[in-house]
């Protein structure tokens, strides 16, 4: 188990270095580009296999206990250790990261985004995976910070070199926001380490450990500093403005990983660091965190409604990005309740959002490849894009992902949001119940607004009258009333339905969305004992 977890963290980094080397003669395939893309699929597949083996070997009867641990002294003078381990909170995120990265590598093998050499692309993708997996596996505050920062440069270059229109500005906005937040977060982590005498996250999480040396003032300052860095990555309104630009400009796989994995790093930090290590400081800021989360839910939904209306020239990728602001608001609301119910809901919503929004970004990226645009007015024309009639499997899967995202019972999106609102209904002792009831009502209103804009997306993109386009007109841009020279309306050319490689990349996400919705106990059975121990001061 120790070797498996070490392999999960280290193998992507080794694979990234190997991707930059010339391919051995027997493994070049048709060309060097194909060889390096196949290398990416192989390495991410091996990491996913190791993560699944780690999950199978995990002691599911004791998910609150740190397992597969490695604890080696690294910098003795500062008491910084290479301390790795997983419990019921981090294991699902490790598996989700390995799965999404493998699916992105598989998708890129068949549909490489336009840009520079695939060598650099694969190396950056694997470096990004290594940093994300390390963030969820390390148990030392300084290592957490290093892993947290490790993902910034790969994502910057994925956006700046392989992105679409406005990629340079979006990449700079992403890096500046996240770096500035990280500088403040580092000060908070150093404050915790200096005042407690250790950076060990497991020791700090126990009531009778070094945490006892942290005064109320120190905890408040630490939560303020650490929380800013985590809030930027989450993203919490109003620190979210980098996200829509980054998603709109990023290549498809960049958007999938940004939404499915990177946003989880911020919320995971709240659960792993802020809640157990600085509970008094967290209680001080919990009402403000909940208020901003509730505002984010409403704001994200209203922004999506503005983008989806006719004539708004709304971009579908940008709309999904704003929906992430709302969905992550539910995660932060659950965390702010400081109750087992709310935190379990937040962790469940994290996984559900990774599956559903990852699938949505895959689909929107494929829609852009087929139409050449993700502008809703261009896609829908005057009657609707009618995907149900023109590419029925594609249209059906897009409608499924949209319905899952709005939180319908029986699919993964329902349980996390419901539990987060239950947590707000009865927050932890010491928190104002009337205030949290107000936040719960706002979140409930957000679910209605979410249903409204997602159903409008389905109506405009999947439904509509059978369009008639001139045979030579670019798809999605011609006048629906155009006629051919004989005076008869010409039927629109068909667009490709789901290809086999797309089935391979998207089916696991759809299946897991259904399974998590029908069998939530599989995930809650892992997280609940660990959350109970975390909130109980290690007891």
pLDDT value of residue 478 = 38
Rounded to 10 degrees, the C-alpha dihedral 328/332/333/339 comes to 130
Q: If residue 73 lies in a helix (H) or strand (E), which one and from where to where?
A: strand 67-75
Report, in angstroms and rounded to the nearest whole number, the Rg of the chain calculated over CA atoms.
23
Q: Cis check for the bond before 235: say yes or no (omega within 30 of 0).
A: yes
- For 67-91, the pLDDT digits (tens) are 888 888 888 877 788 889 999 899 9
Q: Which among 68, 64, 34 has a CA at the least distance from the CA of 50?
A: 68
Chain centroid offset of residue 262 CA: 5
Please tell me the pTM assigned to this model.
0.88
Give the bridge partners for 315, in sequence order: 375
pLDDT value of residue 491 = 47
pLDDT value of residue 196 = 84
Local confidence pLDDT in tens for the 539 residues of the chain: 888 899 999 999 999 998 888 766 555 556 677 888 888 899 999 999 999 999 999 888 888 888 888 888 888 877 788 889 999 899 999 999 999 999 999 999 888 888 788 888 999 999 999 999 999 999 999 999 999 888 888 989 989 888 888 888 888 888 888 888 888 899 999 998 888 888 888 888 887 667 667 888 888 999 999 988 888 888 888 887 888 888 888 888 888 998 888 888 889 999 999 889 888 888 899 999 999 999 999 999 999 998 888 877 778 888 998 988 888 899 999 999 999 999 999 999 999 999 999 999 999 988 888 887 788 888 777 666 777 878 889 889 999 999 999 888 889 889 989 999 999 998 988 888 899 999 999 999 999 999 999 998 888 888 876 554 433 333 444 333 333 444 443 445 567 778 888 889 999 999 999 999 999 998 998 899 999 888 887 67
CA distance linking residue 30 with residue 266, whole number of Å? 41
Size of the chain in residues: 539
User: Under a CB-based contact definition with an 8 Å cutoff, are residues 450 and 301 in contact?
Assistant: yes
Q: What is the DSSP letter of 30?
A: T
């Amino acid at each position: 188990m120790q070797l498996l977890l070490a392999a999960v963290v280290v193998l992507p980094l080794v694979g990234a270095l190997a991707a930059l080397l010339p391919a051995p003669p027997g493994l070049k395939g048709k060309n060097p580009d194909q060889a390096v893309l196949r290398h990416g699929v192989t390495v991410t597949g091996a990491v996913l296999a190791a993560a699944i083996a780690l999950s199978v070997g995990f002691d599911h009867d004791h998910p609150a206990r740190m397992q597969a641990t490695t604890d080696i002294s690294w910098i003795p003078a500062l008491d910084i250790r290479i301390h790795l381990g997983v419990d019921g909170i981090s294991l699902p995120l490790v598996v989700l990261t390995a799965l999404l990265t493998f699916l992105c590598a598989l998708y890129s093998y068949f549909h490489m985004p336009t840009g520079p050499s695939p060598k650099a692309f694969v190396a950056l993708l694997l470096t990004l995976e290594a940093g994300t997996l390390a963030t969820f596996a390390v148990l030392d505050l300084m290592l957490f910070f290093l892993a947290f920062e490790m993902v910034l440069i790969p994502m910057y270059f994925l956006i700046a070199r392989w992105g679409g229109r406005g990629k340079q500005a979006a990449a700079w906005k992403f890096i500046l926001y996240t770096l500035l937040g990280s500088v403040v977060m580092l000060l908070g982590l150093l404050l915790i380490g200096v005042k407690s005498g250790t950076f060990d996250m497991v020791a700090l999480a126990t009531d009778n450990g070094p945490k006892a040396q942290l005064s109320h003032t120190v905890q408040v300052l630490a939560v303020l500093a650490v929380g800013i860095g985590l809030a930027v990555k989450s993203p919490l309104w109003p620190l979210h403005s980098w996200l829509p630009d980054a998603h709109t400009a990023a290549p498809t796989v960049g958007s999938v990983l940004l939404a499915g994995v990177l946003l989880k790093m911020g919320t995971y930090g709240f659960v792993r660091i802020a809640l157990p290590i600085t509970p008094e400081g967290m209680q001080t800021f919990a009402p403000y965190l909940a208020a901003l989360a509730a505002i984010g839910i409403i704001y994200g939904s209203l922004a999506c409604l503005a983008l989806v209306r006719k004539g708004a020239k709304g971009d579908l990728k940008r709309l999904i990005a704003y929906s992430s602001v709302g969905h992550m608001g539910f995660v932060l609301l659950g965390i702010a309740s400081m109750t087992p119910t709310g935190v379990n809901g937040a962790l469940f919503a994290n996984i559900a959002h990774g599956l559903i929004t990852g699938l949505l970004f895959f689909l929107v990226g494929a829609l852009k490849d087929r139409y050449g645009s993700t502008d809703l007015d261009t896609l829908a024309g005057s009657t609707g894009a009618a995907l149900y009639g023109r590419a029925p499997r594609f249209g059906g899967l897009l409608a499924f992902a949209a319905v899952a995202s709005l939180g319908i019972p029986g699919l993964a999106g329902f349980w996390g949001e419901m539990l987060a609102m239950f947590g707000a209904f009865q927050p932890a002792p010491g928190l104002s119940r009337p205030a949290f009831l107000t936040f719960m009502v706002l979140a409930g209103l957000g679910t209605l607004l979410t249903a409204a804009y997602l159903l409008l997306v389905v109506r405009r993109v999947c439904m509509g009258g059978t369009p008639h386009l001139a045979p030579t007109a670019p798809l999605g841009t011609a006048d629906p009333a155009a006629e051919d020279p004989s005076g008869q309306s010409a039927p629109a050319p068909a667009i490709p339905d789901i290809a086999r490689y797309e089935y391979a990349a998207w089916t696991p996400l759809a299946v897991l969305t259904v399974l998590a919705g029908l069998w939530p106990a599989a995930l809650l059975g892992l997280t609940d004992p660990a959350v109970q121990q975390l909130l109980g001061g290690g007891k």
